[in-house]
Amino acid sequence: MNAWMQRWLRESRFAGVVLVLALLGLWQVSALYWIETPTWPPVTRVLEAWWANTADGTLFKHLLATLWRQMLGYGLAAVLGIAFGLAMGYFRILYNLFEPLVEILRPIPGPAYLPVLVLFVGIGHEMKVVLILLASFFPILLNTYSGVRAIDRVQFDTARTLGLTTMQTFRDLVLPAASPQILTGMRISLAISLILAILGEMIVSNDGLGYFTLLAQRTFKIPDMYAGIFTLALFGYVLNRLFLLVEARLIRWHSESSGRV
Amino acid sequence: MASYLEVDHLGKRFSAHGRSAFEDISFSVARNGFVALIGPSGCGKSTLLHIMAGLSAPTAGAIRLKTGPVTGPRSDMMIVFQQYTKSIFPWKTVLENVMLGVKYQSQLPRPELEALCRAQLDLVGLGRYAHYHPYQLSGGMQQRVAIARALARRPDILLMDEPFSALDAMMRVELQDLLLKLWQELGLTILFVTHDLDEALYLAQRVILLSASPGKVADQVAVPLEYPRQQVETRSEPVYLELRERLYRAMVAQVVAGRAAAEAEVRA
């Protein structure tokens, strides 16, 4: 490898984009000339299917369905996780009472709740929302109370000497001080909520990207199946990007003061 | 004359291991006085200041300020901590940090409150930095924010817990002189904890030396040096050097005694 090439690889992030394009090219070539099977359609066929499903609004309809149940479950998990996390982190008694329970429940993989939920909540919209909620709740809860517990004694002493009440201390100290960790929990749960939304839709549903993708496979519309997965990749990427943008705005002070920009 | 701020036979025993941080400490600070408290690490200086600030309770004795006992934090006696990186909240701007101590208590409308806080920032020479965040300031400037925040509450007394010990030598000189200026201009009463003998002698009218663990008052000296003091000249005056030697001897004696006690404990 010559010096110019080495420098380019080291300094340009464009290399990663080139790799993605090269892999897509490899897929195209391999599907056209090497592996001729309906299960491995060329990228161009997938893009055609994607465009067809986008133009007639099918993908958008399913995307909205997924987004709606994901955000409902995730939003509820965030509200509950932050509220309980703040309380558990701040009040020693609550921490001692609930921490062992959390430690037992936390390792249960989200999908394991599914059979139980089907018994109690049925197989409808609510089941999926509760499933997403349960799986997204624990990372947010855990990160929130760890964040609160990591707040330095001196900061609480400062709040007391300045005469802040408990509510004022929550507003001006506890919530902002724990916000970097709370956001870490929320970022982890964002990915989890999408996984669980898709899983729920694949198991029982009549809309959503998980449903669309699985149905395409079952009806041998293979390009549609890949188009569904493409859409999911894009959707997940955009969600994460948006989250990082919001996070950077909210805790600019944190990345600046800890020296990682 | 009844004393202004009085520490009366104060003791603190930690229930966890039964040891005392300090025992039977008594001294008083006159109104507008500047008293420095020095002692080896582990003699309970910080614990003492915490109790005086009303942040924790003593196990013996009492603190009295003006007419009554101190039972909790109060706005006329503010503590400034050593760890300015923590006591200044990094998510708030300089001005918001100073506002924090007054915005919930004061009846003043917001613009007037802001003006009051800006005035405190001007006093400590940070008027231009109101909208900066702490991470954009040097350590010395951050500690000045903490001082401005304390001043915004219009205290009569400042309790200072090794406020300059994390700063470099040049910052220290600057902040020592700033503190003396504030003390004289605002008519404050200051109790200043430090482990630095020179800092104590340079700043204070009286220096109290605490003994090694458990801390007791080992010595007290008046410092009859004129104000305003001069960083170089004051430190070379005969009185200064004489007091310095006396306190230094007493301090070394404390260290030696502490070492002997520790060895005896090991043998026992």
Q: How far apart are CA B98 and CA B112, in angstroms?
A: 13
The residue among B214 and A237 whose pLDDT is bigger is A237
Q: Are strands B157-161 and B20-29 parallel, antiparallel or unpaired?
A: unpaired
Confidence band, pLDDT 50/70/90 cuts, at residue A261: very low
Tell me if A172 and B86 make a contact (CB, 8 A cut-off). Answer: no
Peptide bond into A139 cis (omega under 30): no
Q: Do B133 and A256 touch (CB under 8 A)?
A: yes
Global ipTM: 0.92
Q: Which residue of A has its CA nearest to B101?
A: A162
On chain B, the residues whose CB falls within 8 A of the CB of A179 are: 91
H helices, E strands: number in chain B: 8, 10
B135 CB neighbours in chain A (<8 A) are 253, 256-257
Task: Output the six-digit token pair for B249.
Answer: 């001897």
Give the A:B interface size as CB pairs under 8 Å: 62
Q: pLDDT value at position B2?
A: 58
Contact status of B133 with chain A (Cβ, < 8 Å): yes
**In terms of Cα–Cα distance, which of B97, B99, B183, B111 is closest to B141?**
B97
Contact A162 B91 (CB under 8 A): no
**B234-261: average pLDDT:** 90
**pLDDT at residue A180, rounded to an integer:** 96
Q: Do A157 and B83 touch (CB under 8 A)?
A: no
Mean pLDDT over A151-169 rounds to 95
pLDDT of residue A1: 65
E runs forming strands in chain B: 5-13, 20-29, 34-38, 60-65, 68-69, 77-80, 157-161, 189-194, 206-210, 217-222
pLDDT computed for residue B21 by the predictor: 85
CA-closest candidate to residue A221, choices A46, A71, A97, A94: A46
Mean pLDDT computed over A124-132:
93
**Residue A13 buriedness (CB in 10 A; 0-12 / 13-18 / 19+):** exposed
Q: State the average pLDDT over residues A218-239.
A: 95
List the strands of the sheet with B217-222, edge to edge: B77-80, B157-161, B189-194, B34-38, B206-210, B217-222
Q: What pTM, to 2 d.p., does this model score?
A: 0.88
3-class secondary structure, B183: helix
pLDDT digits (tens, 9 = 90+) for A73-122: 999 999 999 999 999 999 999 999 999 999 999 999 989 999 999 999 98
The reported pLDDT for the residue numbered A105 is: 93
Tell whether B71 is within 8 A of chain A (Cβ): no
Q: Residue B73: is the preceding peptide bond cis (ω within 30°)?
A: no
Both tokens of residue A147?
């964040």
Average pLDDT of chain B to the nearest whole number: 91
Residues of B in contact with A173 (CB under 8 A): 89
Pairing of strands B68-69, B60-65: antiparallel
Domains of chain B from N-terminus onward: 1-76+158-171+182-226 (3.40.50.300), 80-154 (no CATH)
CB proximity list for B186: less than 8 A, separation 6 or greater: B151
Q: What average pLDDT score do residues A27-41 get?
A: 92
Using an 8 Å Cβ cutoff, are B64 and B8 in contact? yes
The pair phi, psi for residue B207, each rounded to 5°, is -120, 130
Which residue among B81, B100, B104 sits closest to A154, beta carbon to beta carbon?
Answer: B81
Mean per-residue pLDDT, B142-167: 95
**Model pLDDT, residue A260:** 45
